[in-house]
Each structure stands twice: as C-alpha cells, then as structure tokens.
Structure 1
Amino acid sequence: MSAALQAVKQFRVRELAPVLKADPKFSNARPKLLNPFLPHKNPDSGRWAPAKYSLRRQADLVKSARASGLLHLLPPGPKVPLKELESASASAPAAEATEGAKWWTTAVEWQGEYKEKEVKGADVGNRLYAGRKRMFKGHKWERTLEKRTWKRKMLMRDMEERIERFKSTYRRKTPSPISPARAVSYSKLPF
C-alpha cells in the first residue's frame, strides 16, 4: 500500500472510529460527523473550537488524496476547493465499484458548511495584487523605477540640444591662450 493511500486511510479510520464504536454494523448508511477541517461552535459553552487538523496537515492530506485518487473521501475545507471535490466525487463511484466496497470508504455526511471566499483576480491567477493600485512595499529601486525611466527618457530626448548648448557656452567662456589674461567666471552662481 502506498504512503499516500495509507495517509488517507488513517485519516478516515481515525474519523470513523467513534461511529464504529457506537454502531459496529454501520446500520446508518451515511454517518454524520463533524468536519475536522473546519472550526465548530461548542453548543454547551458557546465557544469556538479550532479545526482538528491544521492547514499544513490538511494540505498534506489533500496531496496524498490526490496522489492516490481518493480526494472524494476528504471533507470540504480551505485546502480542497469545492469544485474539485465535486468533480472527484463524480468520477469516484466507477473506481469504488471495481475495488469492492471497504468499510472505511463509506460515504459520510460532514457537518459544518465551508463557504469559499470570493477573491478578486482568482479566476485569472492574480489574487495577491487584484484590485490594488500599486504593489506592496518592495525594494526602493522597484518603487522608483517608473519615475526614473520617465526622467531618463525625457533627458535623453533633448540630449543633443543640451550638449550643443553646453559646448557653445563653455567655448564662449574659455579664454583664448593668445589673448591677455582676464578674469573669467566659470561658476553659475550670480556672485
């Protein structure tokens, strides 16, 4: 048995153990279980209990289930998109019939509803910066790049005129070596 299949089987056995103790014959066709991927509210105290499996463990289980083709056996949660779970469960009965029904692969009704959040840009693969005017902090050179390139283009556009202007003014201010020496100001300051 592969490691991926073993991980999914252990998960199912662990979750179905309380139901199996209460009803060893599985007289109830679809047992109801709390969804271990979601937080739930304690009816007695009114407090919220965290999900039984962390997001990292959920992600590992989902990877294992995908690898072994048993994604339909997992409950819905943050790491399993509902669309993907529905498509996996639609294609699963054919595989289950050929294998023969095992007690740990029985259908389960998971209590608790997972509402998938609508994220702007998720459909095109840009979830992080969707709806934002600019990207997050980043490096300073990245933030100032656009302004610098614009300034560089503007300066390069008039560069020939500026060079010509500089050369003509500099020539005019440079004293001739033949003529007598006189005071020439090379500074741009007014004094």
Structure 2
Amino acid sequence: MAAAMQAVKRFRMRELAPLLRNDAKLSNPRPNVRSPFLPHKSADTGRWSSAKYSLRRQADLVKNARASGTLHLLPPGPKLSLAELATASQAAAASTAQASSSVVEVAEQEAKAKGKKLWDMPVEWKGEYKEKEVKGADVGNRLYAGKKRMFKGHKWERTQQERHREQKMLMRDMKARIERFKTTYRRKTPSPVSVARPVSYSKLPF
C-alpha cells in the first residue's frame, strides 16, 4: 500500500514541478496541467507528440492508484476510463466530506494545507480524451460481441458434437453388432494343419 502511494505521489510531484516553479504561490486554485497520458499537438510546429507515459507505465500507475485509493488523482487515458475516474472522484469527495466532520480532523487538514501538501491538490488536466465505443464493453464481452460464432477453435472442437452423436448411436446397437459379427465372420487365413494343394508346373507360362 505504501509503495503504491509513493508511486502516485512521485508521479504527481513530477508533473506539478514545472507548475510550482513558474507559480510558487499558486494563484490559481485549480491550475491547468498538460495530461501526460495523451498525445499533444505542438503550437509551434503543428506536429503531434506521443504521450509522455507509455501504456505499460500508465497501467502500472492506474494499478497503484487503485490499490492506494488515489485513482482520482490521475488523468484520464487509455488505461483509465472517464466513467471509472468519475466514480473514483465521487468516492474521494464523499470520503473527504465524511473525514472533515470532526473538529480535530479539520484542524489536521488545515495544518497539512499550511505545510504545502501540494501533490494531491486539484488539477485540471489539459487534453481531450475520446473513448472509443467498443461493442460488448458494457457487458464485459469485447472479444466476441457482434460475431456469429464465439470463436473458431480447433477442428476437433468444431466436430466434437457430431462425433459424440455418432458414437452414441454406435454404442446403442453395439450388442447386436457384436453378435452379427460373430455369426457371419469367417476366418480367411488358411489353417496351418490343412493339406497344401499341389502346384501344376504344366500350366506355367515358361
């Protein structure tokens, strides 16, 4: 838990460091910070730059934030949907309101504010994240949504039902088949004790 909290704290301090250098007094109570989870377009060159954090690092941060209960401090991105972020923000606001009910806790929060606890301050992340509409995401079945068949599978899996039907039909009449085999089958191999027929050399072609 502590390691997960430290990872989120380092992320926030790293991203808020330029803001604190430029505006040490923080005149804006909710400053704008460029989202490091999204690509951005340069105003000078007009070119797009990729996101500062890779998808793997984003996934690690989201996992740590979810474990430490600080998911509302991260910006939205490919690994953190807007709906999940809104739910986390509401839960954090409810817990803050519940924690500020006692006078002692209010005094502690004021002391922390005076101590410049800036890493968890509210931030407005710049950058619009557009979620792609994926079929079946609402029911947790993205892979096979809108497909006629769940999956292709191996050939033995596709023909398994027909094989079972044939096997069941054969086993149903197995006693009659065995009895018929025993009464009609004749061994065609010659008996070793039988007299061999003599060979006539006069009918040979040479």
TM over 0.5: yes
Given candidates 140, 150, 154, the residue that maps to 2:162 is 150
With over 3 angstroms needed to count, the CA separation of the structure-2 counterparts of 1:112 and 1:129, relative to structure 1, is same
Structure 2 residue ranges without an equivalent (≥5) = 192-206
Aligned equivalent of 2:18: 18
The TM-score, its normalising length taken from structure 1, stands at 0.75
- The Cα offsets for residues 94-120 of structure 1, whole Å up to 9 and x where unpaired, read as 438556242222211111111222222
SS in 2 for 1:110: strand
Structure of higher CA gyration radius: 2
SS at match of 2:28: coil
What SS class does the counterpart of residue 163 from structure 2 fall into? Answer: helix
**In 2 relative to 1, CA 66–151 (structure 1 residues): closer, same or farther, beyond 3 Å?**
closer
Corresponding residue for 2:124? 109
Task: Supply the AA of the counterpart residue of 2:159.
Answer: K
Aligned identity (percent) is 60
Moved more, 65-74 or 91-100: 91-100
Deviation at 1:169, TM superposition (A): 4.4
Provide the C-alpha distance between the structure 1 equivalents of 2:62 and 2:160, rounded to a whole number of angstroms. 47
Alignment of 1:1-191 (within 5 A): 2-93=2-93, 94-95=95-96, 97=100, 98=105, 100=109, 101=113, 102-132=117-147, 133-136=149-152, 138=153, 142-159=154-171, 160=173, 163=178, 166-167=181-182, 169-170=184-185
Q: Alpha-carbon deviation of 1:130?
A: 2.1
Q: What is the alpha-carbon distance in structure 2 between the residues aligned to residue 44 and residue 36 of structure 1? A: 19
For residues 64-96 of structure 1, the C-alpha deviation after alignment (integer angstroms, 9 at most, x for no partner) is: 212222111111111112122112211223438
Give the residue type in structure 1 aligned to 2:142: R
Q: Which amino acid aligns with 1:21?
A: R
Q: How far apart are the structure 2 equivalents of 1:11 and 1:112?
A: 18
User: Is the alpha carbon distance of 1:162 and 1:155 closer, same or farther for their aligned partners in structure 2, counting shifts above 3 Å?
Assistant: farther
Report SS of the residue matched to 2:185.
helix
Q: How many aligned positions are there?
A: 173
Indicate how the Cα distance of structure 1 residues 91 and 149 shifts in structure 2: closer, same or farther if over 3 A, else same.
Answer: closer
| TM-score of the two chains, using structure 2 as the length reference | 0.70
> Can you list the C-alpha shifts for 1:3-41, whole angstroms capped at 9, x where unaligned?
222111111111111111111000012111111011112
Q: Any runs of at least 4 consecutive aligned residues in structure 1 with deviations exceeding 4 A, and if so which?
A: 96-99, 161-169
Amino acid at match of 1:64: N
Aligned mates of 1:152, 1:70 — CA distance in 2: 54
Q: Partners in 1 of 2:162 and 2:177 — Cα distance?
A: 18
Q: RMSD of aligned C-alpha atoms? A: 2.9
